[in-house]
Structure 1
Amino acid sequence: MDPPEQLALREVFTAACRAQRAEVLATAVRRFASAILTNLAARPVADLLADYFKPVALYAICELVGIPATQRAVVAESAETMAASMDGVLDPERRAAAIGSRTALSRVVDSCLRSSDGSGVLGHVARNHRRLDVPRSVLVHSFRLLLSPGYMSVATAAANAFVALRAHNLPLTCLSRDTGVDELLRYCGPVQALGRLCRSDFDFRGTPVRKGELVLALLGAANRDPERFPGADDIRLDRRPNPHLAFGWGTHSCLGTSTARLVLSAAFGRLADQFPAAELVSEPRYAVRAVVRAPEALPVRLTRGSEGAIR
């Protein structure tokens, strides 16, 4: 949906996100992250993506949205399948698999919307959506768009950031502040491209774009644009301003921006506290995808030594 039809719906979702207590969520996420790392301590090597970043991201987005623990495995499985399906134009089988996953995730959201005592963003929207003149399917789809990226994009962003920090011999504490989070999202954010339909004819720097045509926006390239970012191929943790596009832009920008920053800061903060010298044991393998760039796995030795010991 686009304005003006989108405005009332977005206002309800924005109000629902703001109604959640950020510090309460941050404390819960830090506690959850610490518990996972404590359990991983006995392993000589752990997959930091599958064993840590994904569970933390899943816990955080489900706590924010109000998905009960019994349904979170469905959210994870559906979101991962849908993320893979973003290359559906290149691989029709991935697109077909996503249809079933969307249906499964919709059932979870719909059941939560019907609950009279729901929590989180879902509970808030369930109590306030009746004044909206939108089909129920639009509400359900809107939650899918919040849940899937809130899990997969945050987890893969964390994985990419870890690889970048270690490649540049930078401490894990770099993501303890928003400037560090934003710079790593600009430098190595997972979402490389998105598609948009043109709503009206216009001219883009001499290239005519017609109504109804598909525009493929390459976010990865835009975030390394030297005209916008001095030293675009360098990590500058104090970069200001930093108008990166990792969270989108304008009326369709990500509603979960503050939560994503919170989760990344908490996850790296706990990791830095408990395993500051955690290091890769091998070069990560990257999934063969056009839209999302992220490792398939992140084998890491969880070392308790100091950051200064990293080579």
Structure 2
Amino acid sequence: MDLMKIDTTSRSLSLDPRDRAFFCNPYPIYRQLRESVPVFKWEEYGYWCFSRHEDVSALLRDRRFGRQILHVMTRDELGWSEIPERLKPFYDVEQHSLLETEPPVHTRLRGLVNRAFLSRTVERLKPRIAQLTHELIDGFAETREVELLEAFATPIPITIIAELLGVPVEEGPRLLSWSHDMVAMYQARRDAEVERKAVEATLAFSSFMRRHVQARRLSPGDDLLSQLIAAEAEGKSLSEDELITTAILLLNAGHEASVHAIGNGVKALIEEGQARSGLGEGHVEELLRFDAPLHLFTRYALEDVEFNGLKLKKGETVGLLLGAANRDPARFPEPDRFDPARTPNPHVSFGAGIHFCVGAPLARLELNVALPILFERLPGLKLARPPSHRDAYHFHGLERLDLVW
């Protein structure tokens, strides 16, 4: 059976995002789509998708589209059924998320957290990231083999974001478990069991954060949670529910993509013959373009819109294929070639517009500090076996990365 079916007349695509051949290596499919139907209706998702860099970049910035729709349309107008009672705890938290809101709410929330993630602010974390990187490598350097995701790629971002936010680092395993269960709601493999675990994780995570907010109220520290509590106390329009959701989002987003940026990055550097000391910022930017951890970002049409000849009704969802846009030859010459000297490198791995990833400076710093140390400390690093990818589209990452040296 063919992996996908393209109908160029109706501009439709039938492709199971859970097909292993696709989620392990989606780039050949993206190339076919860009060449035959760069704008297409993905039948399995039910909405129009865009694969060219020009379109994706423009739509990320187009204010006629947004992440939120219920501020301009009712569920009835959208033809949506009511949220089942069993899922309300999850969506009650999500509705306050910085990622799911539009101005003016988004502007207010982003303004409160943005200062903590400015490049000049996160730069002070550089010595801590380096120290942590060395400590982790010390833990496995003598073994001559390692599963890198668990031993290295995961602990770095979860430790740094926990310390930045002001929650106990030793709670990392629980935070990771809750985060994975919540994020699974946005993956192609969602089912009743995924939904049940997401709700349980949401309730547990919310309870955990409320306890720590209460503790920080009594004993403020030099951390982001204390800053958010102070903003709430000063009447800067941050409710406790928004505070809890913001903290959960930062913990979730602060590690989920970074773990896979590190894993995908190390895999690419080894496979592309770049596994050596002397890695620079050009390598990191090219890694982010070459094999991004997020491949699909959705938005709603906030009004009736015509975009490049496609008429969209208010409330329709559009899918932006970030992974495909990053390999568009119209923007990136020889896009399947890994080129750390590529300039400019306007990849869309962090999004663009008002929803540009607030944590991008931190993610870049972690990669720029950790990867050079890894390859300097462990020369001769190579794959022990072919890496396996997660069944988790539209996230793109590895299940395991087994290395030897």
Q: Scaled by the length of structure 2, what TM-score is found?
A: 0.69
Tell me whether 276-285 or 87-96 shows the greater mean CA deviation: 87-96
SS of match in other structure, 2:399: coil
One-letter code aligned to 1:209: L
What do the CA deviations read for 1:278-307 (whole angstroms, capped 9, x no partner)?
111100111122211111101111x2xxxx
One-letter code aligned to 1:266: V
Query: Which residue of the partner structure matches residue 201 of structure 2?
Result: 101
| Contact 1:198 1:210 (C-alpha < 8 Å) held by counterparts | yes
Rounded Cα–Cα distance in structure 2 between residues aligned with 1:92 and 1:175 = 44
Residue from 58, 72, 79 that aligns with 2:158: 58
Query: Which residue of the partner structure matches residue 306 of structure 1?
Result: none
One-letter code aligned to 1:121: L
Query: Which residue of the partner structure matches residue 149 of structure 2?
Result: 49
The structure whose residues are more often helix, as a share, is 1
Rounded Cα–Cα distance in structure 1 between residues aligned with 2:343 and 2:223 = 33
Closer, same or farther: CA 201–135 of 1 in aligned 2, 3 Å: farther
| Contact 1:172 1:271 (C-alpha < 8 Å) held by counterparts | no
State the Cα distance separating 1:254 from its structure 2 match: 1.0
The structure whose residues are more often strand, as a share, is 2
Query: Which residue of the partner structure matches residue 256 of structure 2?
Result: 152
Residue from 265, 268, 273 that aligns with 2:371: 268
What do the CA deviations read for 1:67-123 (whole angstroms, capped 9, x no partner)?
222432222111222333322565343233222222222233333333131332222
One-letter code aligned to 1:166: I
Closer, same or farther: CA 231–174 of 1 in aligned 2, 3 Å: farther
Query: Which residue of the partner structure matches residue 136 of structure 1?
Result: 240
Closer, same or farther: CA 103–196 of 1 in aligned 2, 3 Å: farther
Residue from 217, 220, 223 that aligns with 1:120: 223
Alignment of 1:170-209 (within 5 A): 170-173=274-277, 175-177=279-281, 179-209=282-312
| Contact 1:54 1:151 (C-alpha < 8 Å) held by counterparts | yes
Query: Which residue of the partner structure matches residue 258 of structure 1?
Result: 361
Closer, same or farther: CA 172–203 of 1 in aligned 2, 3 Å: farther
Aligned length: 301
SS of match in other structure, 1:42: helix
SS of match in other structure, 1:296: strand
State the Cα distance separating 1:42 from its structure 2 match: 2.8
Runs of 4+ in 1 over 6 A off after TM superposition: none
1:12 equivalenced with 2:112 (yes/no): yes
One-letter code aligned to 2:258: V
State the Cα distance separating 1:245 from its structure 2 match: 1.4
Closer, same or farther: CA 19–277 of 1 in aligned 2, 3 Å: closer
What do the CA deviations read for 1:115-150 (whole angstroms, capped 9, x no partner)?
131332222111123433343222322222221121
1:32 equivalenced with 2:132 (yes/no): yes
Identical aligned pairs, as a percentage?
A: 28
Query: Which residue of the partner structure matches residue 307 of structure 1?
Result: none
Rounded Cα–Cα distance in structure 1 between residues aligned with 2:341 and 2:232 = 40
1:85 equivalenced with 2:188 (yes/no): no
| Contact 1:196 1:216 (C-alpha < 8 Å) held by counterparts | yes
Rounded Cα–Cα distance in structure 1 between residues aligned with 2:244 and 2:196 = 20
1:162 equivalenced with 2:266 (yes/no): yes
Closer, same or farther: CA 181–296 of 1 in aligned 2, 3 Å: same
Tell me whether 67-76 or 149-158 shows the greater mean CA deviation: 67-76
1:287 equivalenced with 2:287 (yes/no): no
| Contact 1:53 1:155 (C-alpha < 8 Å) held by counterparts | yes
| Contact 1:9 1:132 (C-alpha < 8 Å) held by counterparts | no
| Contact 1:85 1:97 (C-alpha < 8 Å) held by counterparts | no
Query: Which residue of the partner structure matches residue 231 of structure 1?
Result: 334
| Contact 1:192 1:291 (C-alpha < 8 Å) held by counterparts | yes
Rounded Cα–Cα distance in structure 2 between residues aligned with 1:34 and 1:43 = 15
One-letter code aligned to 1:150: G
Q: CA RMSD in A?
A: 2.1
What do the CA deviations read for 1:248-272 (whole angstroms, capped 9, x no partner)?
1111111111110111122212212
Rounded Cα–Cα distance in structure 1 between residues aligned with 2:240 and 2:279 = 38
One-letter code aligned to 2:191: D
SS of match in other structure, 1:46: strand
